[in-house]
Amino acid sequence: MMSFIISFLSGFALSASLIVAIGAQNLFVLRQGLKKEHVGPVVLFCGFSDAVLIIAGVSGMGALLGTFPQVAKGFTLAGAAFLFWYGVRALRQAMRAESMTVAHGASVSLPKALASVAAFTWLNPHVYLDTVLLMGTASTAQPIPLRPFFAVGAASASFLWFGALGYGARLLQPLFATPKSWKILDIVIGCVMLFLATLLLRQVR
């Protein structure tokens, strides 16, 4: 019984250490949480996506992806293009005179929200590095019968983090009660997205 718990906690700790870093996906979930818009579906999508990728890595998909570097290059280029587009979009939104507030924000439909979070998730090459390759490699240190517990622990950390980020964002709403606060947030998001896009393009060289 203790070995099951140790494997679970090992997966949980590793996943938590990787996922907490500020990135495009986390910023999008935070923004949706501040707007109280489609938080549940977005959080569940992120959690299930990570779970699928973690299971793939633990099942040995990481070794397979490592033999096809062109696939990773394709994801990198696509991800850079999307991040650049979203970054420019966020900066343009920040420059508008009618910048949003929490109460009167520009709504986005559920399909559009899910399409955006899907792009942030599946077009980010680092998600494959973290969940498929790294988690898959780390799981090999576990005995084969214990690897499912390692995967469950890692996936649990992902669901917990995105849930806390999405639903905990409302605690920050008093800070975003004015248009100026949303302008600052959009500028930060835009700059981060453009920075991440630049890093991805540098990796392709």
Its pTM surpasses 0.85: no
pLDDT, position 12: 92
Cβ(132)–Cβ(53) under 8 Å? yes
**Averaged pLDDT in 10-residue chunks for the chain of 205 residues:** 85 84 83 91 96 88 63 73 84 68 64 92 81 79 87 94 92 76 82 83 71
pLDDT, position 166: 93
pLDDT, position 83: 81
Name the one residue in this structure whose structure tokens are 């910048």.
Answer: 99
Q: Whose CA is closest to 7, among 132, 157, 143, 137?
A: 143
Question: How does DSSP assign 85-99, residue by residue?
Answer: HHHHHHHHHHHSTT-
Percent of the chain having pLDDT more than 90?
Answer: 26
pLDDT, position 200: 74
What Å distances lie between residue 204 and 74, 134, 170, CA to CA? 9, 20, 38
